[in-house]
Structure 1
Amino acid sequence: MPKRLKIPLAALLLSVAAGCFLETMDASFATAAEARAAGYVVKGWIPPWLPGDATDVREVHDLDTNVSELSFAIPARDSLELPPECKPVEHSGTVRAYIRRHWWPGETELQQSYVFFRCPADAADHVFVAVSKTGTRVLHWRTYAR
């Protein structure tokens, strides 16, 4: 391949690869109020039932597939009011999260330390919520069956 074609081809490949990574967006907020002010609830990346006293809000989503993962802390279990359509489910009835950032617990920790709920699907095939057994950490994820 002539050298004059290698440079544009390399630039094209690099921009295509970068586009794949830019589909996944990360955000973090100190409080629920900050997440709401940033528009993440209105845009649908964070559910409207996010408690007002939530802190350490971490979110990641894929613009192409609409899969998303959310983690936040609450001071006590009674801060959380899930929609009535969210029903308890065993860990074995969930579908693993796709993106899995460093702040997302591993499968063993999830299975041992959380209780699970299946919620009505919206932007993906499956929506789950996991609440730590201590009642102070909540996970929410949208995903597709693999």
Structure 2
Amino acid sequence: MRVSGALGLTGAGMLMCTLLTGCGTGGEAQFADVAAARAAGGGPASWVPDWVPDGAADIRVRWDLDSNDSILRFRHTGAWQPPTACTATTAPGGAALTASWWPAQLPDGTDYTCAQQPMALRIAGDAVYAWSTR
């Protein structure tokens, strides 16, 4: 059976989209540390921003390709400061995504919004939570 032009291209496009990106799907990844995330290269590792410090560990990220939403959590040692494009705030809004490792209510901490990406951060002890905002 022969498939005609537009339908054939649409079908092939859908197959490629599904194979390459998962179209309409999201994902989740965990990395032991920044070195592991950087060694993994693109794909899930691309959701770990460059500003995550070299000493970060237990990195978890979840994303949704349809909405371009993401959540990220990592642990750090020592004093960590958010990117310079972030400013302290009191009510950054909540994350659109959830995950088994993302608390229903974030622990108390210091909140920031970052215009550069747009995202929000909460630093709570040795944990940093980051999520996309709109």
**TM > 0.5 fold call:** yes
Q: What SS class does the counterpart of residue 47 from structure 2 fall into?
A: coil
Aligned to 1:63: 65
Aligned to 1:98: 96
8 Å Cα contact 1:61/1:69 also seen in 2: yes
Q: Does 1:119 align with 2:117?
A: no
Task: Tell me how large the CA RMSD over aligned residues is.
Answer: 2.5
What 5-or-longer segments of structure 2 have no aligned partner? 1-17
Q: Does 1:139 align with 2:129?
A: yes
Equivalent-residue separation in structure 2 for 1:75 and 1:22 (angstroms): 36
Change (3 A) 1:43 1:71: closer
Aligned to 1:82: 82
What 5-or-longer segments of structure 1 have no aligned partner? 1-18
TM-score normalised over the length of structure 2: 0.74
Equivalent-residue separation in structure 2 for 1:62 and 1:41 (angstroms): 13
Equivalent-residue separation in structure 1 for 2:94 and 2:86 (angstroms): 17
Aligned to 2:28: 26
Amino acid at match of 1:120: A
Kindly indicate which of the two structures has a greater share of residues assigned to helix. 1
Equivalent-residue separation in structure 2 for 1:83 and 1:100 (angstroms): 24
Equivalent-residue separation in structure 2 for 1:73 and 1:99 (angstroms): 19
Q: State the Cα deviation string for residues 2-28 of structure 1 (Å, max 9, x = none).
A: xxxxxxxxxxxxxxxxx8996111000
Change (3 A) 1:23 1:143: farther
